[in-house]
Amino acid sequence: MPLPQMLRAELYANPANVFLHDAILVSCRKHGQKIALVDSSCGRRVTYAEYGEMVEAAAHGLVAGGVRPGEVVAIFLPNSWEFCVAYHAATLAGAIPTLLNPTYREREVRHQLGNSGAAMLITDRANIEGVSLPGLPRLRKVYCTREQASGSQAFGDLLKPVSGKLPAPEQSSDETLAALPYSSGTTGLPKGVMLTHFNLVANIYQLLGPNAVTLTPADNILCFLPLYHIYGLNVMLNPALLVGATLVLMPRFNVAELSSVLVAESISMMPLVPPAMNALCQAAEAGQFPKNHTVRWVKSGAAPLAPELPKRFTTLTGILVRQGYGMTEASPVTHVGFLEPEFYRPDSIGRPVAQTDCRVMAIDGATDNSCEVATGEPGELVMRGPQFMKGYWNEPEATAAALRDGWYWSGDIVTRDQEGFYRVVDRRKEMIKYKGFPVAPAEVEAVLLEHPAVRECGVVGRADACAGEIPVAFITVRDGFVTGTKLQDELCAFVGERLTHYKQPREVHFVDVVPKTASGKILRRELRQMIR
């Protein structure tokens, strides 16, 4: 097939002024009795008709419960049918959903609820056990899904019939926020990413457009990726429901359960992250991966994919690998690979999706005045397109640093070959990727500095075969403290009690001084060289 025929220029449909919940409800009416969701955590199977009814009921319930247009509704749940309903109901009610990692500790929960100004929280008792919610002035109500917490209301109450109208949108779809996920961007503590309905719908239509990712009503998709993450939310949940596919939800990755579900639900595709792909390779080598599966392809994203891993995976399972690339700020997809034999490059992130312009800029330390590099040369990936965020929530300086003259500076170093295929070769940004989950060094450092033994510290990532990267801490201790294994363990546990598990340092190195620039910025490159 000639190269030009595989270019991506068209969208699946016109996203102009399409609100996400409206597109989902149209699909619910169209696909009525077809199964929309299978929730493996409770065995519930939800048809499209039932899903649409629950979304509309919950939206009315939120409005009757006092939520006002433009207010933030926080969703703090694992993968479940309740998460999905709560998300689409919140936008239908005119609210802005902010999505919390269900493994977050109290510190992280309070930061996101406080920073977003959440008015309502939809969660479950197990998630908020040990979390103090008082002191959050805007939080008025807490709804729990399966087990009630003290002072909460039942999520089921939102589904009860109530009178009243839903608010009409006050602004166009490119001004109305449809999601407020939190990301650390290229640096720093987590920030709210303002994604509009237009951003999300445009990215779905980019994914579903010609020569991109083909999903159909016949697909049965397995999703263990967390829905709070933009990968699970807008690469799997929203596109699957929009086209009328069946989405099978797992609350977490488990090889034995996944292998069983693949066969029982006749799964045709699933999204992966590289560590999960590696775990499935090991299962296949041990004879624990089902040979009678019906999976045709998997999508890999959220972290760099080692070139040999997709080859190994396909050899062991017979399943093709389509690698993609993106970030929360891009709703998230900017690039995706092909499955067609002539253009099958699983070591590449593929080509840009439709209406996404890309430049590969010279890395000269003065990015505003950079120029584009020659084909095949490494440079920073800079992009623009309809899927890119409106900006960071209440962070104008961070927004201005990431979005310059309409272009998003990714912080990732890529190459582009003569055929137009992109490959990620390095990162300029500080983020650590543990099993695809971002870890902001500054957030871990802030916690470590609260420990009485720590005078100064720096955190970087170290390559790890199973996790991709692990956080490694370099610590300078205060006088009177003894370095050694006991203090190492204590510091790791100190972080583990305050931040979700994957942010905990896996190694601690004691140093006389943490290297810094003259202005006091940590020289992470020097720290990384110390662990090679």
Is 82 strand, coil or helix?
helix
Question: Which residue is it, tokens 């996101």?
Answer: 112
DSSP 374: P
Higher pLDDT pick, 521 / 181: 181
pLDDT score of 502 more than 60: yes
Taking residues 234-251, report their average pLDDT.
98
Taking residues 478-506, report their average pLDDT.
93
- Distance, CA of 391 to CA of 394 (rounded, Å): 9
Share of the chain above pLDDT 70, in %: 95
pLDDT band at 4 (very low <50, low <70, confident <90, very high): very low
pLDDT at 257: 96
**DSSP bridge partners of 222:** 248
pLDDT score of 2 more than 70: no
Taking residues 465-474, report their average pLDDT.
91
Is 498 strand, coil or helix?
coil
Tell me the one-letter amino acid at 381. Answer: L
Question: If 0-12 CB within 10 Å is exposed, 13-18 middle and 19+ buried, where does residue 165 land?
Answer: exposed
Exposed e or buried b for every residue in 372-409, given b needs 16+ CB within 10 A?
ebeeeebbbbbbbbbbbbbbbbebeebbebbbeeebbb
pLDDT at 432: 87
Q: For residue 199, give both structure tokens.
A: 């951003």
Residue pLDDT, tens place only, 129-174: 989 998 898 999 999 999 999 999 999 999 999 988 999 999 999 9
pLDDT score of 235 more than 60: yes
Q: Identify the CA nearest to 151 among candidates 161, 141, 159.
A: 141
pLDDT at 6: 63
- Distance, CA of 481 to CA of 178 (rounded, Å): 49
Q: For residue 240, give both structure tokens.
A: 């699957």
**DSSP bridge partners of 360:** 381
pLDDT at 428: 65
Task: State the chain's mean pLDDT as an integer.
Answer: 92
Compute how many other C-beta atoms are within 10 angstroms of the C-beta atom of residue 488: 17
Domains (range + CATH), the chain: 432-529 (3.30.300.30)
Q: Which helix (H) or strand (E) holds 454?
A: strand 454-464
Cα torsion through 168, 173, 175, 178, rounded to 10: 90
Q: Which helix (H) or strand (E) holds 472?
A: strand 468-477
Using DSSP bridges, classify how beta strands 44-47 and 35-39 pair: parallel, antiparallel or unpaired.
antiparallel
pLDDT at 518: 60
DSSP 301: -
Taking residues 476-493, report their average pLDDT.
93
pLDDT at 454: 92
Give the predicted TM-score (pTM) of the model: 0.87
pLDDT band at 449 (very low <50, low <70, confident <90, very high): confident
**Torsion-angle region of 196 (φ positive above 0: left; ψ -120 to 50: alpha; else: beta):** beta
pLDDT at 5: 52
Q: What one-character-per-residue DSSP string does 132-196 give?
A: --TT-TT--EEEESSSPPTT-EEGGGGGS-----PPPPSS-TTTSEEE--EE-TTSSS-EEEEEE
Give the end-to-end CA distance of the chain in Å, rounded to a whole number: 44
pLDDT at 367: 46
Q: Identify the CA nearest to 301 among candidates 318, 321, 281.
A: 321
pLDDT score of 297 more than 90: yes
Residue pLDDT, tens place only, 358-409: 999 997 644 455 689 999 999 999 999 999 999 999 999 999 999 999 999 9
Weakest mean pLDDT among 21-25, 63-67, 275-279: 275-279
Residue pLDDT, tens place only, 81-118: 999 999 999 999 999 999 999 999 999 999 999 999 99
Tell me the C-alpha to C-alpha distance, in Å, between residue 445 and each of 189, 208, 449, 480.
10, 41, 6, 21
Compute how many other C-beta atoms are within 10 angstroms of the C-beta atom of residue 295: 19
Q: Identify the CA nearest to 53 among candidates 178, 161, 154, 144.
A: 161
pLDDT at 63: 97
pLDDT band at 1 (very low <50, low <70, confident <90, very high): very low
pLDDT at 188: 65
Taking residues 338-344, report their average pLDDT.
94
pLDDT at 304: 77
Taking residues 183-202, report their average pLDDT.
86
Q: Identify the CA nearest to 287 among candidates 250, 328, 254, 256.
A: 256
